[in-house]
Every structure is written in structure tokens, then in C-alpha cells.
Amino acid sequence: MSYQFNFGPVFAAFDSLLLGAWVTVQLSVAAMVLGLIVGILGAAAKLFGGRILRVVVDVYIEVIRNTPFLVQIFFIFFALPLVGLRLNPTQAAILALLVNVGAYAIEIIRAGIESISRGQVEAGMALGLGRIHVLRYVILKPALRAVYPALTSQFILLMLSSSVVSTISANDLTAVANDIQSATFSSFEVYLVITVIYLVLAMGLTVVFRQIERITFSYPTAR
């Protein structure tokens, strides 16, 4: 094997890679939070809304789940300006990630809500809980607890899929790596390093999600 490994130029630009990783985290977290809100509202609309609202949500889900994410982000960044909605790369990246993860979150949360038996709701009402408290504590929280593993897996997949936003010049980790590769031609070294960084980010998110689960959804211990 005649190839000479040279990680020097890559490590010389490591600060730029860390900055790109931070942008990736920011884009992903923003899309996760907003996507969770879209998921909850969309699931509620699909289960409890009128027929027209349910059809709108169903069409949204089917369109997003059956088209490539790359096409979706190109549509948002290149096609929407033709109708007057011009977004910068960061805004377009967040919107594309949000629209994509929201469609999957709706179905995941819907499944969680449907797993709550009507008897639990009636028991909550019998205890004198108002509708808001029943929705929050009897329906939504147990539903999110039930689907939490699937939801967080989807969020981690979202973070990994965010590498696609480099195609519209968003300054995420992959975009920075592409710039370094173009300047140094150290393809193997650059992409090996960002592979490790993405792995660390995914494992870090897993730890964070486990802590959130422990704090938010753990049952109280008996005294």
C-alpha cells in the first residue's frame, strides 16, 4: 500500500471541525425541539381533529415519508424563493430538518397516544382532574414515555441526516470537512475524523436522552 497517511492538515483545522460540529448540534437540537411540538400537535390533530385537518396531516406525512430528504431540502432552498419565500442556508436547513422529523414524530406520538386505554382517561376524570391535566398527565406523558425510545432514535437519525444540509452551503460538520478536503486532498483522513466526531455526537445524544428519560419519565420509588 503506497498511500501515505497525513493527518497533520486535518488536525491543523480541527478548530473548524469543532465549530462545524457545534453548528450540527445547534441545527439538530432546534429541529428536535420544534419537531417534537409539530409531532404532538399533528398527532392531536390526526386523532381528535376534524376530517379536513386529518386529511391535511395525512397528506403531509405521506409526502414527507415518501420523498428523499435531499429533494425536500432542495425544494425549500431553491424552489420556495420562486414564490417569494427566501431563506438563508441555516434557516432552510432548520426548516427542512423540522419538516422531515415532524412527519415521523407525528406517527410515533400518535401510536403512543393510542396505546393509552380509555379506562385510564375515565379514571383521571373520575378523580376530578380537568381536561388539561388529563391530557398532560394521563394521556401525553404516558404516551411519550411509551414511545420515548423510538422518538429519540428518530432524533439521533435526524442529527446524522443533517449532513445533507452541506449541499446548500450550511456550515455544518460535513460542509467544513468538504472544504478541508478540497484544500488538502486528504480525503481518507478528513472523512475518518468526521466519522469519529459523528459517532461521538450520536453517543453523546444517547447519554443526554437517557438522562432526560430518567429525570422526566421515571416512576417515583416507593418509600
Does residue 109 carry a pLDDT above 50? yes
pLDDT at position 217 is 75
Asked if residue 99 is part of any domain, the answer here is: yes
| Structural domain total, the chain | 1
Asked if residue 223 is part of any domain, the answer here is: no
**Eight-class DSSP state of 3:** -
Task: Summarize pLDDT for 144-193 with one digit per residue, the tens.
Answer: 888 999 999 999 999 999 999 999 888 899 999 999 999 988 889 999 99
Check which CATH number belongs to the domain holding 28 and give it: 1.10.3720.10
Grid coordinates representing 36?
417534537
pLDDT at position 97 is 95
Does residue 39 carry a pLDDT above 90? yes
State how far the Cα of 89 lies from the Cα of 95, in Å rounded to an integer: 10
Cα angle, residue 175 at apex, residues 69 and 205 outer, rounded to 5°? 70
Asked if residue 23 is part of any domain, the answer here is: yes
pLDDT: is 154 or 143 the higher one?
154
Asked if residue 14 is part of any domain, the answer here is: yes
Asked if residue 1 is part of any domain, the answer here is: no
pLDDT: is 218 or 13 the higher one?
13
pTM of the entire predicted model: 0.87
DSSP H helices, the chain, are 8-12, 14-48, 51-65, 69-74, 89-114, 118-126, 131-133, 141-161, 173-184, 187-217
Grid coordinates representing 185?
486532498
Does residue 133 carry a pLDDT above 80? no
Mean pLDDT value of segment 87-102 = 94
Asked if residue 148 is part of any domain, the answer here is: yes
pLDDT at position 1 is 57
Asked if residue 2 is part of any domain, the answer here is: no
Task: Summarize pLDDT for 57-81 with one digit per residue, the tens.
Answer: 999 999 999 999 999 999 999 999 9
pLDDT at position 125 is 67
Residue 121, domain extent: 8-217
Asked if residue 199 is part of any domain, the answer here is: yes
